[in-house]
Amino acid sequence: MGDWIALAAAMVLVATLADAPGVLLVAALTIGYGSLTTVWTRYGMRRVEYSRRLGTGRAVAGDIVPLDVTIWNRKRLPLPWVTAEDRLGERLNVRERPEMQVDEHQQGALLLRNDWALAWYERVVRHFHIDDVRRGSYRFGPVQVRLRDILGRLAGEERFELSDTLLVTPAMAAVRHAEHEMSPLGERRARHSLTVDPALFAGVRPFQAGDSLRLIHWRATARLGSAVSRRLEPARGRAVMLVVDVQTVDGPVLTWDEDTFESMTVVAASLARRLLADGASLGMAAANFAGSPEKFAWLAPRASMAQMPRAGELLARIGPVPSAPLSALLAWLTRRIPPQTTLILVTARNPGRHLATLRRMKRSGFGVELVTVGPDAVSHAQVARLARLRAMTGTVEPSWEKPDAVILVG
């Protein structure tokens, strides 16, 4: 403020000596501008509130997510120029801002910029829409709010640590078998069981001592002329571990096929929903950090449709860069799941290098099945079949961006 006063005083002195009223007017304007700038610098950012509200914290790939941004000047001092730069996650398309600035401090992050001129006690809400969100986990924030004077000079700034997360799960589609006689995934007839399932009728047999009278098939007994009992299948409780091989190509781990990886997540999500709907106890694993310090992404098996949101969250957080070799994950799983569990491996790579491990798991009592995805899915499935492992190909139709069905062939 001292510089402005000194400049204005010099101009007043010159205007008085030279009898120049124009210079005197400029001096008055200079004092006014300097005074306002000082006030804005000292008090401008006080009681300025910025908020961001997402329409939802969880979405499915392809959804439209509403985003509201609010600025509120809660004081009597008007603000001529307020700018807010809100950091958004990468690859987000804001309908109302088709071209957004890239944040130079965080690679890939975008900046949603807004400018306002706020009167006293004015509150402004702007509505945005994030179109066609893609699978992933997105972090929002922080926000940098700057105040400028009428000439555009910086008069104050503040950083708001507003943190929000948008979790986008893969899209799911109906699972269809190209061969209708093919048994469902993870389905195996139990050979022995202490209990039977009364809903699984398997035929009749001659009545034996010790059979319950409730098991007698009266109509067949009357037709055959001798007592026969109903024969029931052993009770089956399927435990399935869905393993996603996040590495899409053999070679450097920092190289991947994005379309193939996204197709794998759609296939995995669709299979998970199908298995849970069929009554299986489903778990999931992947060799990826998935936003946590743990070496492997892991979801313990559970037989409930409430498991589906957890499976979707795991698939939303994983990426195509592995945290460890697939063989390490398979060895780790043998210590975490019982031998009766069926392991379904969703992979886009040639399974040849892992066949020894998979066959060893099969000999130990695990059920082992493969679902191959990608341009070489047919040849990769054939490699697994030659090793006497059940394998099928999984194709997303028509595309992973807009999936209508997952076709299993094998």
pLDDT tens across 16-42, in order? Answer: 666 666 665 666 666 667 777 888 889
pLDDT-derived band at 212 (thresholds 50, 70, 90) equals confident
Q: Token pair of 365, please?
A: 């009592």
DSSP letters for 159-205:
EE---EEEEEEPP--EEEESSTTSPPTT----S--SSEEEEEEEEEE
**pLDDT digit string (tens) for 132-191?**
999 999 999 999 999 998 888 899 999 999 999 999 999 999 999 876 544 456 654 444
Q: Give me Rg for the CA atoms of the chain.
A: 33
CA dist 390 to 54, 186, 247, 359, Å?
Answer: 44, 10, 21, 11
List, in sequence order, every beta strand (DSSP E) within 257-389.
Answer: 281-286, 297-302, 342-347, 367-372
Q: Is the pLDDT of residue 60 over 90?
A: yes
**pLDDT digit string (tens) for 318-351?**
999 999 999 999 999 999 998 889 999 999 999 9
Phi, psi at 97, each rounded to 5°: -130, 75
Q: Which domains does the chain have, with CATH numbers?
A: 48-169 (2.60.40.10), 174-188+237-409 (3.40.50), 196-234 (no CATH)
Q: Containing H/E element for 256? A: none
Confirm if 217 and 229 have CB atoms less than 8 A apart: yes
CA distance 311 to 127: 31
pLDDT-derived band at 270 (thresholds 50, 70, 90) equals very high
The dihedral over CA atoms of 319, 322, 328, 334, expressed in degrees to the nearest 10, equals 0
